[in-house]
Every structure is written in C-alpha cells, then in structure tokens.
C-alpha cells in the first residue's frame, strides 16, 4: 500500500518526498546515465530529510518506471496532442512516474495527481495544467496482463540480440521475467541445515545450500545474519563456485584463486569448504566489503588488490582451481537492476568482450596442470559467453570439463557442450533466477 493510504488529513503535498526521490533517481539514469546503485549509494538531495518509508516508496516508483518504460511512454503518448519538447525533460519524467504509480502500482490517483502537479509547477514553462490534464486521464493496467509487445520495455538493439540468440518465444519470456522484482536467495554455510533455515526464515529450499525468501527483506534483521549462518546470493550466482569445487577430489586444502572477487559471495563459498582461497579484485573499497562479509561469516581468505590481468601470486605458484567471474554488461541482472537496459549501448558488449578475452588468458596462466578454470559472466549476450569459450578453446591447449545436470539438482540443464546459460524465466514458478553463462575448462595434466 502506498504511503498516502495511511496519511488521511495531511496536506496535498504530503507524498512529495517520495516522488522527489523517484524523480531524482530516474533523472540520474535517463538524463545523466548514472546507475541506480551509484545514485543510491552516493545519495540524492531529496533523500536527506525523507523517512525510510518515503525512500522505499520512491525507489519502488523509480524501479517500476524503468521496468515498464516502453509501456509507460506509450500510455503518455496516447494522451498528448504532440510530443514534449526536449527542454521539458523533467515534465516527461514526472508524467512517467505518475503513469507508473497509477498504471502499475495501484496508487490512489488523487495522490498521484496532486504530487505530479506540484512537481510540474517547478518546471519552467508553466506545465502544471498539462501535467494535471494528463495524469487525470491515466488509468490502471491489469497487473496480470503481459504487454502486447514484450520488447517494448527494452532498447531495440538489446531486444533484437535476444531474439537472435534465443528465439522470439524465449526472448518474450526473458522480457516478461524482468517485469517483477526477484525474490531473495540465501546461501547457507552449513549445507545440511538448509531445510532448517528454510523453516526458520519462512522460505523454501531450492537445492542443498540455497534457501529462497519470497520477497526483498531487511537483511541485517533476519535471524542468522549476525551469527554468519548465511549470505545473500542468487542461486545462479552460486553455481560457478559449485562447478569449480565439484571435480576437486578434496576441496579441503585445495588452492583456489577467485579473480574479480567482489562482492565476495563466491569467495565465501570457496572458503567455506576449507579450501585455501586467494581473492583478487582491482577495487580496494569493494575488497574491503569482501573482508567485512568474511569476518561476519567466520571465514578467511587472502585478499589481494590488483588488476587480474597482471596479477601474479607472490610465490609464483599455480592453483588447483581458478574462478573468473568476469566484468560484463550484466544484462542477466536486469530483474534486480532495471536501469541496465537504459545505461548500456551495443559498443559496451564489444568492450566487455575484449576485456574478458584478456582476463581469460591471464586466468589460464594460473591453472596448474590437471587443474580447472570456471569462467562466468552475468550476461545474456553470447559474445560474452559461449563465443568467448569457443574462441578460447580454438587458441589454447584446454578442454571442456562438462557440467552435469546432477550438479544443478535439475534446476537448469547444461547445453550439448556441457556449458550452462541460466535465463531469468528458469524456475519461473518459484521466482526465476539471474542470467549467467558458465563454462568449466581443464588444463592437460
């Protein structure tokens, strides 16, 4: 329920703080090309005096606007006699926020209209009457209905790339999966206690070591957080470390390096088995957060701040296993970050692929004979996934170590090569999963 439903008798502008937060967020993404995460981390002026309730509702409005942007723009265009001029960018964002609330969030129309008109009055050009007229004509959309054009909420280049890679039907299913906020997955430190923690937290066991909660939560307040019983990690993000550990006959004492390690969920998985883990990341701030998480979990690893392309272990040793979760366009994470489609460009895919090629070659040099490398990206773009591995195998003395269905407990099936491509609609009846490409390679003994 929107905050206004509990604010009887308050002024016409009681809901403005949340709307101003939402406006600041969509401006940052759509006008300034800044990510939601960075904007929220760095703060926006309208957050300073807002309540936690207003901050949460403002974020929800902004996230919904970005998820449904194509549909929202079509709703607004149908109510305008002519397109807004470019100089009226803020007016456009205000109308988008109003359409998100009335169309998809079920917010009381009078509250939406009042706040939108107040925001419109601040814009140069006397747009208050237009905002009033348009917002009063907005109508709710059936929340069970899928958009008639599932690609409408995506840039054309991104939508077409998925149609080409996965076919029209699967591209439709991917796009529909992005319209709802994902559940919260936890990786359980003591795998044999997975069912117990599922009961304690009112979640469900997805597979041994993974518990799913049905919605976002205030994580630090959940039972087991302070004692380090679990950590937040989408089921798809937990797979690469599982696949690296599976072929090692005894992970206890194995030497493993986790390249591009932050935010650290995979490092925790590896260290939790008793392996000797080195975590490498170029960002000292993010690596500090990895250490904070390891401390809470009662785990240890050697942390190294370095560019993984040039890092060399101090003693020159090789490793039983190397995990490379490479930087990418993150198009597999759009469920969690609906700003991604509006921040990325086709050129970003090529740039990410070039970096990934360098990282793969650097990672391969660290694998001891007979050892394993797991390559992963949270991307749906083939150039960053399957194509990378095909090209790498053509140029290096490496073979696939195919992933088996048993390793995923049947939740997602490997392709004919033994690689995994998770897609957002997989496990759709239980909330879906992030999109990851994962391949496992072995170096000849």
Pairing of strands 204-207, 437-442: unpaired
Burial class (CB in 10 A: 0-12, 13-18, 19+), 286: middle
SS3 sequence of the chain: CCHHHHCCCCCCCCCHHHHHHHHHHHHHHHHCCCCHHHHHHHCCHHHCCCCHHHHHHHHHHHHHHHHCHHHHHHHHHCCCCCCCCHHHHHHHHHHHHHHHHHHHHCCCHHHHHHHHHHHHHCCCCCCHHHHHHHHHHCCCCCCCCCCCCHHHHCCHHHHHHHHHHHCHHHHHHHHHHCCCCCCEEEEECCHHHHHHHHHHCCCEEEECCEEEECCCCCHHHCCCCCCCCEEECCHHHHHHHHHHHCCCCCCCCCEEEEECCCCCHHHHHHHHCCCEEEEEECCHHHHHHHHHHHHHHCCCCEEEECCCCCCCCCCCCCEEEEEEECCCCCHHHCCCCCCHHHHCCHHHHHHHHHHHHHHHHHHHCCEEEEEEEEEEECCCCHHHCHHHHHHHHHHCCCEECCCCHHHHCCCCCCCCCCCEECCCCCCHHHCCCCCCEEEEEECCC
**Residue 4 pLDDT more than 70?**
no
**CA distance linking residue 437 with residue 422, whole number of Å:** 6
Tokens of 146: 């899928």
Range in 8-12, 111-115, 389-393, 427-431 with the lowest mean pLDDT: 8-12
Mean pLDDT of 219-235: 97
Tokens of 210: 């993974």
pLDDT in tens, 262-305: 999 999 999 999 999 999 999 999 999 999 999 999 999 999 99
pLDDT at residue number 124 = 87
Contact 372, 442 (CB under 8 A): yes
Q: Give 249 or 129, the one with higher predicted confidence.
A: 129
Mean pLDDT of 69-86: 95
Range in 32-41, 58-67, 110-119 with the lowest mean pLDDT: 32-41
pLDDT at residue number 48 = 73
**Catalytic positions, written as ranges:** 378
- Torsion angle of C-alpha atoms 430, 148, 158, 89, degrees rounded to 10: -110
pLDDT at residue number 42 = 82
Tokens of 216: 């976002």
pLDDT in tens, 341-372: 999 999 999 999 999 999 999 999 999 999 99
Contact 241, 266 (CB under 8 A): yes
**Residue 9 pLDDT more than 60?**
no
Contact 424, 177 (CB under 8 A): yes
Alpha-carbon distances, residue 363 vs 306, 320, 324 (angstroms): 13, 12, 7
Q: How many CB atoms lie within 10 A of CB 63?
A: 20
**Residue 5 pLDDT more than 70?**
no
Contact 357, 391 (CB under 8 A): yes
Burial class (CB in 10 A: 0-12, 13-18, 19+), 352: buried
Q: Give 301 or 1, the one with higher predicted confidence.
A: 301
pLDDT in tens, 147-179: 888 899 999 999 999 999 999 999 999 999 999
pTM for this predicted structure: 0.94
Mean predicted lDDT score pLDDT of the chain? 94
Place of tokens 């502008």: 13
Pairing of strands 276-281, 255-259: parallel
pLDDT at residue number 330 = 98
* pLDDT grade for 21, boundaries at 50, 70 and 90: very high
**CA distance linking residue 186 with residue 233, whole number of Å:** 5
Q: Which of 245, 246, 292, 247 is closest to 271 using CA atoms?
A: 245
Q: Which of 246, 189, 289, 359 is closest to 256 using CA atoms?
A: 246
Per the document, the length of the chain is 445
Domains of the chain, CATH where assigned: 3-137 (1.10.940.10), 233-442 (3.40.50.150)
**Residue 3 pLDDT more than 50?**
no
**CA distance linking residue 358 with residue 355, whole number of Å:** 5
Q: What is the share, in percent, of the chain residues with pLDDT greater than 90?
A: 87
* pLDDT grade for 104, boundaries at 50, 70 and 90: very high
pLDDT at residue number 346 = 96
Q: How many CB atoms lie within 10 A of CB 280?
A: 24
**Residue 1 pLDDT more than 50?**
no
pLDDT at residue number 411 = 94
Q: Which of 182, 167, 3, 9 is closest to 101 using CA atoms?
A: 3
Mean pLDDT of 387-401: 98
Place of tokens 């909660």: 213
**CA distance linking residue 48 with residue 300, whole number of Å:** 37
Interior/surface letters 373-412, b for 16+ CB within 10 angstroms, e for the rest: bbbbbbbbbbbbbbebbeebeeeeebeebbbeeebbeebb
pLDDT at residue number 12 = 57
pLDDT in tens, 171-207: 999 999 999 999 999 999 999 999 999 999 999 999 9
pLDDT at residue number 147 = 86
């Amino acid at each position: 329920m929107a905050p206004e439903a509990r604010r009887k008798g308050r002024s016409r502008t009681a809901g403005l703080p949340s709307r101003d937060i939402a406006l600041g967020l969509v401006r940052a993404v759509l006008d300034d090309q800044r990510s939601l995460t960075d904007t929220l981390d760095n703060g926006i002026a309208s957050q300073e005096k807002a309540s936690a309730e207003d901050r949460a509702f403002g974020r929800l409005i902004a996230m919904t606007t970005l998820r449904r942007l194509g549909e929202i723009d079509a709703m607004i265009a149908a109510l305008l006699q002519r397109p807004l001029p470019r100089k009226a960018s803020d007016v456009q964002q205000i109308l988008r926020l109003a359409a998100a609330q009335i169309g998809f969030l079920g917010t009381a129309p009078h509250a939406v209209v009042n706040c939108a008109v107040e925001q419109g009055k601040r814009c140069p050009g006397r747009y208050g009457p237009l905002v009033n007229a348009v917002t009063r004509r907005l109508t709710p959309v059936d929340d069970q209905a899928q958009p008639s054009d599932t690609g409408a909420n995506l840039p054309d280049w991104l939508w077409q790339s998925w149609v080409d890679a996965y076919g029209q039907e699967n591209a439709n299913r991917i796009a529909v999966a992005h319209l709802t906020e994902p559940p919260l997955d936890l990786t359980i430190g003591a795998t044999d206690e997975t069912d117990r923690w599922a009961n304690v937290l009112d979640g469900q066991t997805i597979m041994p070591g993974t518990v799913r909660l049905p919605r976002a939560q205030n994580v630090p307040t959940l039972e087991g957080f302070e004692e380090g019983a679990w950590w937040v990690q989408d089921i798809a993000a937990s797979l690469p470390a599982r696949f690296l550990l599976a072929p090692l006959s005894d992970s206890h004492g194995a030497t493993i390096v986790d390249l591009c390690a932050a935010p650290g969920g995979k490092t925790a998985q590896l260290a939790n088995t008793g392996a000797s883990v080195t975590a490498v990341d170029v960002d000292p701030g993010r690596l500090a957060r990895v250490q904070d998480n390891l401390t809470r979990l009662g785990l240890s690893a050697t942390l190294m701040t370095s560019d993984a392309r040039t890092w060399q272990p101090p003693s020159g040793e090789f490793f039983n296993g190397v995990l490379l979760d490479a930087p990418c366009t993150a198009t597999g994470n759009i469920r969690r970050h609906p700003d991604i489609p509006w921040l990325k460009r086709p050129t970003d895919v090529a740039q990410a692929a070039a970096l990934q090629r360098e990282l793969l070659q650097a990672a391969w040099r660290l694998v001891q004979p007979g050892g394993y490398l797991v390559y992963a990206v949270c991307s749906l773009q083939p150039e960053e996934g399957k194509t990378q591995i095909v090209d790498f195998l053509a140029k290096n003395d490496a073979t696939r170590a195919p992933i088996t269905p048993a390793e995923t407990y049947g939740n997602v099936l490997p392709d004919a090569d033994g690689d995994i491509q998770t897609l957002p609609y997989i496990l759709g009846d239980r909330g879906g999963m992030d999109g990851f490409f994962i391949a496992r390679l072995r170096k000849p003994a």
